[in-house]
Amino acid sequence: MLATQPAVTPETAASPAPVPAPKPAHTHTPNSPSDLDVAAELLALLRDTTTEPRPNAQLDALTLAVAADLPVLLWGEPGIGKTAALTQLAATLELPLTTVIASVHEPSDFSGLPIVGDDPARQGVPMAPPDWAVQLADAGRGLLFLDELSTAPPAVQAALLRLVLERRIGALQLPPGVRIVAAANPRSSAADGWELSPPLANRFVHLQWTHEHEVVVRGLGGTWPYADLPRLDPEKLPQAVEFARRAVCGLLAARPALMHRLPATEARRGGPWPSPRSWEMTVALTAFATAADASRVVLSQLVRGTVGDGPGLELLAHIDRMDLPDPELLLADPNSAELPERGDLRQVVLDGVVQAVRNRPDKSRWDAAWSLLVRALDTGAPDLVVVPATTLASLRREEWDVPESIGRLAGVVDISRRADLAAANGSAGTSRRVSR
């Protein structure tokens, strides 16, 4: 039996297809938050972070340079956290932060805009500062952040010279409470980057900014390192200034070629290099680091970021030698002499004692030097006395009797010579086998 379709009547043919009922509109009661309010609440929770005291050499170097009122330039790859560090530092110090993207400004934004008055022939044409500079001056204090400095063209860099060094923009003098910090990316990773001009680069303390894995992990978890100004000991201030001046002047007196050394390549000229201006900044940073009892790592970052790696390392070595005992005092009382614990410094002291005997040879001084070497043997590594003992033995004159103390050193020198001979023979045997 075949199924039949229902008959189509005029009524059924004219009836429209059923339309689904519309979804009810999402309405808010007067007291319910909107979607954007909920999103803002979530954003506020994400921004809610805390800080903790944590040893951080680069952060300590930054705060010391800021305390010394010296312009700082942070070098680092994009996204490394330079801007975040400055934002957190300004919040900790309760300083208003003013960020200026140097590359998107005209030179006149930093040198001042000419404003023609009623009688320019008699009153001149003043250079009006931009609004952000006026706001900083009105506040009396603040942190001026010059971002993307390496993407600023040469004309803008030239206009920044007076701002960075003299804190002057047009006719406006920024108050002493304003600190300047800049940030830059290496030219290889900067957007249309430029090398810094030597005059501008020589006005900054250059700090390499890197990320520490554990610091970033804890920061993403809501806890960042605490940035604070260094605590300066008021009782150490005069001694800190005297020490810093003596250190820098002592090095430059012995190494006058370090006073001014403009690098040969364009890339190095855009970084730290020695000049009378940068050495003056080095004196200030050394004094601040001494008064704050900063670590050697922090002092190293500061001085190398001001005068360059080579001169900075020479200054650090000179500072180490400044605290070394006088060879003449050691020869006067060798039995109670206090020798440095560090091996390299102890070697320098022993070599200085032997050189003092060479400069003024005398039987009593020669004997005192042997007593000092024995004391060094008893209190430190034996290999440090080998070279001084060998040199001192060569200074003996025929009429001088051999002191009893030399017997304790003879074995050390002999063992050292045997070890050197064995090493030489081993190297020779290896060379013969290779040649075959």
pLDDT at 311 over 90: yes
pLDDT band for 423, please (50, 70, 90 cuts).
very low
Higher pLDDT, 430 or 368: 368
User: Is 8 part of a structural domain of the chain?
Assistant: no
Strands 72-75 and 205-208, by their bridges, are parallel
Integer angstrom CA distances of residue 305 from 90, 209, 217? 22, 11, 27
Express each pLDDT in 30-43 by its tens digit. Answer: 566 788 889 999 99
Question: Would you give the distance in Å from CA 372 to the centre of its chain?
Answer: 40
425 pLDDT band, cuts 50/70/90, is low
Mean pLDDT of the chain: 84
For position 389, what pLDDT does the model report? 87
CB 261 within 8 A of CB 311: yes
The C-alpha angle with vertex 245 and arms to 249 and 323, in degrees rounded to 5, equals 85
Query: Is 359 part of any domain?
Result: yes
In a domain, 280, yes or no: yes
Tokens, residue 335: 């039995």
Q: Which residue has the higher pLDDT, 4 or 176?
A: 176
Closest to 384 measured CA to CA, from 421, 353, 429, 362 = 353
Min mean pLDDT across 48-62, 95-109, 180-194 is at 180-194
Query: pLDDT > 70: what percent of the chain?
Result: 82
What are the tens digits of pLDDT across the range 85-102?
888 888 888 889 999 998
What residues form DSSP beta bridges with 100?
146
**What is the residue range of 238's domain?**
234-322
Over range 165-194, report the average pLDDT.
Answer: 84
Among the candidates 172, 191, 225, a domain finishes at: 225
Q: Predicted confidence band at 14 (pLDDT cuts at 50, 70, 90)?
A: low
Q: Which of 50-54, 232-236, 310-314, 423-427 has the lowest mean pLDDT?
A: 423-427
Query: What is the rounded CA–CA span in Å between residue 434 and residue 428?
Result: 10
Buried b (16+ CB within 10 A) or exposed e, 176-191: eebbbbbbbbebeebe
Instruction: Note the pLDDT tens digit of each residue in 206-218.
Output: 999 988 888 888 8
Residue where one domain finishes, among candidates 225, 251, 272: 225
Q: Worst-scoring range by mean pLDDT, 7-16, 73-82, 154-163?
A: 7-16
Is there a single domain that holds both residue 336 and residue 429?
Answer: yes
Least confident span in 51-65, 115-129, 254-268: 115-129
Could you tell me the CA-to-CA distances from 134 to 51, 169, 170, 176, 182 in Å, in that order? 32, 10, 11, 14, 19
Residue 407's CB: how many other CB atoms inside 10 A? Answer: 10
Between strands 97-101 and 72-75, the pairing is unpaired
Using CB atoms within 10 A of its CB, is residue 340 exposed (0-12), middle (13-18) or buried (19+)? middle
Query: How far, in Å, CA of 73 to CA of 66, rounded?
Result: 11
- Indicate the pLDDT class of residue 109, thresholds 50, 70 and 90: confident
Whether residues 170 and 271 share a domain: the answer is: no
Please state which of the ranges 123-132, 134-143, 390-399 shows the lowest mean pLDDT: 123-132
Q: Which two tokens stand for residue 35?
A: 């979607």
The predicted model scores a pTM of 0.73
Least confident of 68-77, 80-89, 367-376: 80-89
* Pair 414, 302 in one domain: no
Is residue 212 domain-shared with residue 107, that is, in the same domain?
A: yes
- For the ranges 53-57, 350-354, 369-373, the lowest mean pLDDT is seen at 53-57
Domain end position, chosen among 266, 287, 322: 322
253 and 396 co-located in one domain: no
Supply the Cα-derived Rg of the chain in whole angstroms.
35
CA angle 179, 55, 201 (to 5 degrees): 35
Angle at 193 between CA 189 and CA 199, to 5 degrees: 120
Is 69 buried (19+), middle (13-18) or exposed (0-12) by CB count in 10 A? middle
Q: What is the mean pLDDT of residues 126-155?
A: 90
Contact 34, 28 (CB under 8 A): yes
For residue 433, pLDDT over 90 is answered with no
Per-residue pLDDT band at 424 (split at 50, 70, 90): low
pLDDT of residue 32: 66
CA distance 262 to 150: 20
Question: Does 164 reside within a domain?
Answer: yes
Phi-psi bin for 12: left (phi > 0), alpha (psi -120 to 50), beta?
alpha
Q: Is the pLDDT of residue 28 over 70?
A: no
81 part of a folded domain: yes
Give me the mean pLDDT over the 265-288 stretch. 95
Residue 282 has pLDDT above 90, yes or no: yes
- Minimum mean pLDDT range among 244-248, 305-309, 338-342: 338-342
Any domain includes 37: no
Q: Both 88 and 101 in a single domain?
A: yes
- How many Cβ atoms sit within 10 Å of the Cβ of residue 122? 7
Domain membership of residue 189 (yes or no) is: yes
- Do residue 278 and residue 316 come from a single domain? yes
Q: Is the domain of 161 the same as that of 245?
A: no
CB 279 within 8 A of CB 248: yes
Tokens of 227: 């940035």
- Quote the number of domains for the chain: 3
Q: Are residues 158 and 191 in the same domain?
A: yes
User: Residue 338 has what pLDDT?
Assistant: 86
Token pair 């000092």 is at which residue?
Answer: 372
Q: How confident is the model at residue 16 (pLDDT cuts 50, 70, 90)?
A: low
Q: Angle at Cα 203 formed by Cα 72 and Cα 195, nearest 5°?
A: 90
- Yes or no: say if 61 and 207 are a contact pair by the CB < 8 Å rule: yes
62 and 163 co-located in one domain: yes
Verify that 244 and 381 share a domain, yes or no: no
Same domain, 296 and 345: no
Give the CATH number of the domain where residue 158 resides: 3.40.50.300
In a domain, 119, yes or no: no
